Amino acid sequence: VNRSVRAQAPAKVNLHLEVLRLRHDGYHEVETVLQTVEIFDHLQVTLIEEYAGGAPKIELTVESEPSIPDDETNLCWRAAAHFCQLTGRSGHIVMRLVKEIPSAAGLGGGSSDAAATLVACNRLFAAGLDAEELEKMAAALGADVPFFIRGGTQLGRGIGTKLTPLPPVRTGQFLIVKPDLDLSTAEVYGNLRMGLTVNASKANIGVIRPILARFPQSTWPGFNRLEEAVLPQQPLLQRLVIQLRDVAPVAMLSGSGSAIVAVFPDGEDLASLTGDLIDSGLYVRVVQPCAAGVEIKDD
């Protein structure tokens, strides 16, 4: 067989994240505006041999980030096994993942990698699943995974898996800043004092939708509710958010952090700002919004 494909898995940022309530299953209901951006992990998937049935043989190597596991705890490994189980297909699958998206940053790297694996397996096994079917399959792997099947600008509801396309964001320079600090999503949500948030919404999607056409601008009403749980306990992140809000129309924690996204108009010179941030020892990238999710090419 030896069929191989390459997948480009983008990062995401949250341009709005409201936490609505804690569900009985332990997940939180959210309303969020998700946007893919041009930081990419790169995944090569090879189908060495296709089996008539049985469990797949999965091999995974991870490059560029030693802390990422290469066993069955990795979302790529889990996604490949999940795909085979649900479609009744099997084979010897070899994956090589090159990480560029920082982990534990609120940028969705692991979820994007899982989506890339599903899309790659769909191509290699010629399963013929459409985007909607892949999104349903992806939901079992994590709340952000379905989003990366389509990407672009989407409204996420429920636990984030109920997606509705929004007017696409096509402009803006997205400054991504991350200190050497990893945050646990579960711990961040656990530290959120839900009693204070139920009736305290500062924005709603009816207000946000028409403003997307003029994004970014200082009247952007989106916010990240998780900042209430993170920033008081992380003075460095709090200082960075305040610093960036002084100079950018939009600046907030992305997801549960620890990355911060600040969005500037196209053409604004960011060299001095980014130079100072890099000199401070921070991860710094200036990227464009991405109109799609996972993209795949045959080798």
Query: What is the Cα–Cα distance from 37 to 15, expressed in whole angstroms?
Result: 12
- 144 classed as catalytic: yes
Query: What is the Cα–Cα distance from 4 to 91, expressed in whole angstroms?
Result: 13
- Contact at 8 Å (CB) between 76 and 154? no
- Contact at 8 Å (CB) between 113 and 119? no
Query: What is the Cα–Cα distance from 266 to 250, expressed in whole angstroms?
Result: 13
Closest CA to 218 of 165, 258, 172: 172
Query: What is the Cα–Cα distance from 229 to 188, expressed in whole angstroms?
Result: 6
Alpha helices in 88-184 (DSSP H): 109-124, 131-138, 147-150
Burial category of 289 from C-beta neighbours within 10 Å (exposed 0-12, middle 13-18, buried 19 and up): buried
Query: What is the Cα–Cα distance from 244 to 231, expressed in whole angstroms?
Result: 14
Q: Single out the catalytic residue among 130, 144, 202, 246.
A: 144
Neighbours of 248 (CB within 10 A): 23
> Which residue, chain included where needed, has tokens 């990366």?
148
Q: Single out the catalytic residue among 12, 41, 99, 113.
A: 12
Show which residues are catalytic: 12, 144
